[in-house]
Amino acid sequence: MRLLVDSFYDHVQQDALSGPVFNGFAHVNGASHLPAMYDFRSSVLPGTSRCKGQPFPKHIPLPVGVAHFQRWLQLFYQPVDEHFSGTRTVEAKARALSIATLFEPRLSPRPALSVL
C-alpha cells in the first residue's frame, strides 16, 4: 500500500494542475499526511478498519473543480496499473471513482442561482 500511495503523491506533487493545490494551498505535511493515507488506502482496498475519521471536511477549503478530480483519477490510476493487476486493479479504480463521485459535486464551485 505504501508503494501505491507514495507513487501517487509523487505524481501529484509534480503535476501542473494538482501540485499547486497539494504543495501550495494545502501545505500538506508528508510526515503526517502520508501515514494517514496509508491507513485510508488500506481501509478502502483490502477492507481493514485502520482508518478512523472523516476525510471530507479536510477537503472543503481546497480550490478544486471538475478538472482536478479528473486529473486526480488519472494520477491515481497510473500507479494502480503499475503496481496491481487483476481484480485488485479494478477494485482500486472503482473505489477511487466512487470517492471522486462523492466529493466532486460537493467541492466544485457551482454558479450562483438567479431569479428570473
Give the whole-angstrom CA distance, residue 103 versus residue 69.
Answer: 9
pTM of the model: 0.79
pLDDT of residue 64: 92
Give the whole-angstrom CA distance, residue 107 versus residue 66.
Answer: 9
CB neighbour list of residue 108: distance below 8 Å, 6 or more residues apart: 64, 65, 66, 69
Give the whole-angstrom CA distance, residue 92 versus residue 98.
Answer: 10
Largest CA distance in the chain: 53
pLDDT digits (tens, 9 = 90+) for 27-80: 776 777 777 787 776 666 655 556 566 778 787 888 899 999 999 999 999 999
Could you tell me the end-to-end alpha-carbon distance of the chain, in angstroms, rounded to an integer? 52
Give the whole-angstrom CA distance, residue 78 versus residue 11.
Answer: 9
Burial of 37 per CB tally in 10 Å (0-12, 13-18, 19+): buried
| Confidence grade of residue 1 (pLDDT, cut at 50, 70, 90) | confident
pLDDT digits (tens, 9 = 90+) for 86-108: 888 898 899 899 999 999 999 88
Which is higher by pLDDT, 107 or 112?
107
pLDDT of residue 50: 60
